Chain A
Amino acid sequence: MKVIIGFIVLWPLVGFLFNGLGRHFWSKKVVAYKATGYVVASFIASIFAFVQVQNQGAVSVHYFDFINTAHFKIPFDLKVDALSSLFLLVITGVGSLIHLYSTAYMKQESSSDYARYFSYLNLFIFSMLILVLGDNFVIMFIGWEGVGLCSYLLIGYWFTNTHFNYAAKKAFIMNRIGDLGFLLAIFWLIAKLGTVSYSEVFTAESIAKLSTTDITAITLLLFVGAMGKSAQIPLYTWLPDAMAGPTPVSALIHAATMVTAGIYMITRSHLLFSHSEMTQNLVAVIGISTALLGATIALKQNDIKKVLAYSTVSQLGYMFLGLGVGAYSGAVFHVITHAFFKALLFLGAGSVIHAMHHEQDIQKMGGLKSKLPITHLTFLIGCIAIAGIPPFSGFFSKDEILAAAYAKNPVYWFLAILGSAMTAFYMFRLYATTFLGKFRGTTEQDHHLHESPLAMTLPLIVLAVLSAIAGAIGIPEIMGGHHWIGQQLSSIVGAAKETTLTHTIEWALMGTSTMLALLACLFAINKYRQKADGEPTTPLGKLLFHKWYVDEFYDTLIVKPLNNFAGFLKNSIEKKVIDGAVNGTGKIVQYSARQLRLIQNGQVGYYILFMVFSIVLLLILWFNDTIILRFYYSLIK
């Protein structure tokens, strides 16, 4: 097992080093084969690992001690259990597909850039694997920051473009804010328990050692970490900007894998979370708010990737809602299905962009249905899946969350279903504007429109199939399923709670959401099949188009004041106060030197006068004043 897990992790690393170091030597072909091959190898190893876990249960292997001091020990342990093995499959599986896709998508790049791209991608896979495989919080944190870094590198992949760089920087810094929360949580754990290993933290005794405050604080801080990585309010603004990166990157990192790290982490530490009512509520509230916020903004976006990005934000919100209401397996289920269909959508979008020569504005598309048949079909499947229309996968996973939300609080459910309707609407708005109607682009673009090569369509097809059928792993019991994924995860999160909902209500809920989604779809298709959405005219439309002005709000309220403060420190405090004090001392010495030397006026008479007075002064100092007073007193007497 040690070897298998090692392989899983090491292959992408080897790929990174191979491509990174040899980027000037290898041809694109070699790079492509190697990079993809390593991930596929990793995928195969993951399957082995998965099977092993199925047979033997969770396995933890020890490699070396990362930190080992007298008082404190952090081993470099990796662990495969039901949760991580699922994630492994998704990461390496979707990862392989996206690698494959990228080989064609990035063809125009120069060969060294091409290698650089793949090395980053491999590094990302490596980090992500570390994140999910780590057997303690610190190892997880290593991966956690690692994926942040890769995200940074990939967003800024086209580094000559300043805007992309800003986007990359923003992503990294926002992630860092979250990471700070995560770090503090780790410190808190260490301070209280002295360990960060899952096996030692998640025990009844450990939990008992922690006071309620501790647990609340730790979970809140962990959640802050998750907010950053999984783009929740208030740290979500980086994710839409992150679309600056190449589209496959968006698919892999900013949709399928990295952003779900927060969900993974919270699921991992669900024991803590379930001990803190407050945090759970907060998670749920933030989740649903994010879901709605993302959905509303997505309604009015015209950039094909932006729509998908906000849709991701929104979907992540759902997952957090699921976590907040205790539907851990539901959340994980949604992660998996979301990985499939969102990757599919992004790759589809990539295919469109590829065909349109890097045009991303949907207003300039339309009628692509006939020109890009495979893309169109797969994209449609993705849309249906995300809209939550049965029997496609999205329906099942979303439904599980909705049901749990309803059980917790119907308001959650109501808001969620609203969001779900919006999801259906904007997805089909996107679909309709892009693929239906007639082409609105330039003739030149029209001339060059073509279906993408096999390397790109193959992943689309695979993902489309998965999107369509992945729901099968979580068919709820009322539909006669076994809810395989729930059973899988029961070893981690415990058996799914007995729902208090009757079957009738469950059916009703499903029905409602399906109906709403369907209605929204049809409405959207109807509305946008002929014409695109122009510039928004209504105030609300403008507000949504400008993303609720959140970026501007952050800019004026946080970024600018901080920047000004830094400037104030640099130009005023540092120069005038601190350095001024140091230099001032020097000036005082100089000044007194100038004054003191005037005593030395060159005249002997003065010198002797000074001497006599000095002697007098010495005498006075010596005998102190009382004696002199006594003398004068005696004179009077």
Chain B
Amino acid sequence: MPIQYYIYLCLALFSIGVTGVLTRRNAIVVFMCIELMLNAVNLLLVAFSKMFHGLALASDATTTVGIEGQVFVFFIMVVAAAEVSVGLAIIVMMYRNTHSVDINFLNRLKN
């Protein structure tokens, strides 16, 4: 399978995430779209990892080339989890104070 397919897929998912960030006002949904972006990246990393692995495998049967991509994905998940905990805490805090999760609701800081 050509790598381009995966690239396009992931870019599409990523862009959908971006678009979601831009079009939604609910902080939680925006945050979910960011998670979607991260996942698109994850998939792309794995795809690349397999690409390099396949290339290396041709010359060396026991190679582990490409594994770093998957390790990276692991770390992204780790970080995402940490981020989610903090992010949701912030959103909840905001909700406590304003009873809203609308990102446009708080816009006193401007100009």
Contacts and interface: CB of A to CB of B under 8 A. Distances in A.
Given A612-B18, A612-B22, A597 B103 contact: no
A603 B103 contact: yes
A562 B108 CA distance: 61
Contacts of A602: 107-111
Contact of B110 (A600, A605, A609): A600
Nearest to B108: A602
Interface in B93-111: 103-104, 107-111
A602 B104 CA distance: 8
A603 B107 contact: yes
A629 B110 CA distance: 38
B43 to A, nearest CB: 21
B21 interface: yes
Interface in A576-599: 597-598
Interface in A590-622: 597-598, 600-605, 608-609, 612
B104 A608 contact: no
Contacts of B108: 602
Nearest to B103: A604
B21 A597 contact: no
B31 to A, nearest CB: 11
Contacts of A604: 103-104
Contacts of A612: 18, 22
A605 B111 contact: no
A608 B107 contact: no
Contacts, number: 27
A117 B25 CA distance: 94
Nearest to B23: A605
Nearest to A597: B111
A600 B107 CA distance: 10
Nearest to B18: A612
Contacts of B21: 608
Given A608-B22, A609-B22, A612-B22, A603 B104 contact: yes
B30 to A, nearest CB: 8
Nearest to B15: A612
B25 A605 contact: yes
A120 to B, nearest CB: 71
A605 B103 contact: yes
Contacts of A605: 22, 25, 103-104
Contacts of B109: 602
Contacts of A600: 110-111
A533 B55 CA distance: 128
A598 B111 CA distance: 5
Interface string B16-28: 0010011001000
A266 B104 CA distance: 93
A576 B107 CA distance: 43
Nearest to B21: A608
A608 B30 CA distance: 11
A600 B104 CA distance: 13
Interface in B21-76: 21-22, 25
A602 B111 CA distance: 7
Contacts of B110: 600-603
A178 B70 CA distance: 97
Contacts of A609: 22
Nearest to A615: B18
A605 B107 CA distance: 11
Nearest to B111: A597
A603 B106 CA distance: 8
A612 B18 CA distance: 8
A597 B110 CA distance: 8
Nearest to A598: B111
A604 B30 CA distance: 11
A485 to B, nearest CB: 93
B102 to A, nearest CB: 10
Nearest to B110: A602
A597 B25 CA distance: 23
A612 B21 CA distance: 11
Nearest to A602: B110
Contacts of A603: 103-104, 107, 110
A604 B103 CA distance: 7
Nearest to B107: A602
B66 to A, nearest CB: 27
Interface string A275-306: 00000000000000000000000000000000
Contacts of A608: 21-22
Nearest to B109: A602
B22 to A, nearest CB: 6
A394 B110 CA distance: 97
A563 to B, nearest CB: 51
Nearest to A604: B103
A598 B110 CA distance: 8
A604 B102 CA distance: 10
A619 to B, nearest CB: 13
A605 B25 CA distance: 8
A607 to B, nearest CB: 10
B110 to A, nearest CB: 3
B33 to A, nearest CB: 10
Contacts of B107: 601-603
Nearest to A596: B111
Given A598-B111, A601-B110, A608-B21, 9 more contacts: A597-B111, A602-B109, A603-B103, A603-B104, A603-B107, A605-B22, A605-B103, A609-B22, A612-B18
9 contacts: A600-B110, A601-B111, A602-B111, A603-B103, A603-B107, A603-B110, A604-B103, A605-B103, A605-B104
Interface of B: 18, 21-22, 25, 103-104, 107-111
Closest 3 CB pairs of A and B: A602-B110, A602-B107, A597-B111
